[in-house]
Amino acid sequence: MQTKKASASCATGCPSHGKAFSAADAEVFARVEDMIDLTLKVLERDLPAPEFEKKRAKISGKRTKDYPRVPVMLAVCMQRRPPPPAKVMPEWEEQCAVACAVQNLWLTATALGAAGYWSSWTAEARDSAEMASFLGLGPGDRCLGFFLLGIAKPGAAEAYRATRGAIEAKVDWRLEEV
């Protein structure tokens, strides 16, 4: 509980153009099951049969193997607030604010020994009217995926660590040397 609250609290320290996290905890795992059922229903309706079967198999595997081990699943949503009359916030700024919140959540969880993963979910289900209704999103709000938070098996987190290249390969410094 401490890790969940600390991670979520840290996420609120970002630009607040509008963001929302909907927590699905172990007590409401039935809602996660309902969300997976909704996802499969949308995919079956919107995808050709071979593509649906491929995604169904992947989701079914995660449903039985991975998701039961995840104590917290957060819906990462962009909440579009009615802007003040003088200034309309561009949607890309709102999305970036949510990404900053997720990064803070991720960093805090990692610092506390938890593991996290931001899943973009499936676009067909994530962006559907059914998902928006399921998550209680308002007009203009968007689901940007789901953040799964838990404790990794010993050694598992290290196996997933990406290799970061040298900063010189990623940054073109255009500063005068002092």
- Kindly report the CATH number assigned to the domain that includes residue 163: 3.40.109.10
Look at residue 101 and tell me if it is in a domain.
yes
- What pTM, to 2 d.p., does this model score? 0.73
Q: Which domain holds residue 82?
A: 2-169
Look at residue 84 and tell me if it is in a domain.
yes
- Quote the percentage of the chain above a pLDDT of 70: 76
Look at residue 142 and tell me if it is in a domain.
yes
pLDDT in tens, 36-68: 999 999 999 999 999 999 999 999 988 888 888
User: How crowded is residue 20: how many other Cβ atoms within 10 Å of its Cβ?
Assistant: 18
Look at residue 176 and tell me if it is in a domain.
no
Which residue type does 106 have? W
- Among the ranges given (48-52, 127-131, 172-176), the one the predictor scored with the smallest mean pLDDT: 172-176
Look at residue 148 and tell me if it is in a domain.
yes
More confident residue, 155 or 53: 53
Look at residue 178 and tell me if it is in a domain.
no
User: Is a pLDDT exceeding 50 seen at residue 26?
Assistant: no
Specify the number of domains making up the chain.
1
pLDDT at residue number 79: 84
Q: Is 18 left (phi over 0), alpha (psi -120 to 50) or beta?
A: left
Beta-carbon contacts of 32 under 8 Å, excluding residues fewer than 6 positions away, are 24, 67, 73
Look at residue 95 and tell me if it is in a domain.
yes
pLDDT in tens, 67-124: 887 888 888 999 877 666 657 678 888 899 999 999 999 899 888 888 888 999 999 9
- DSSP letters spanning 115-143: EEEEE---HHHHTSHHHHHHHT--TT-EE
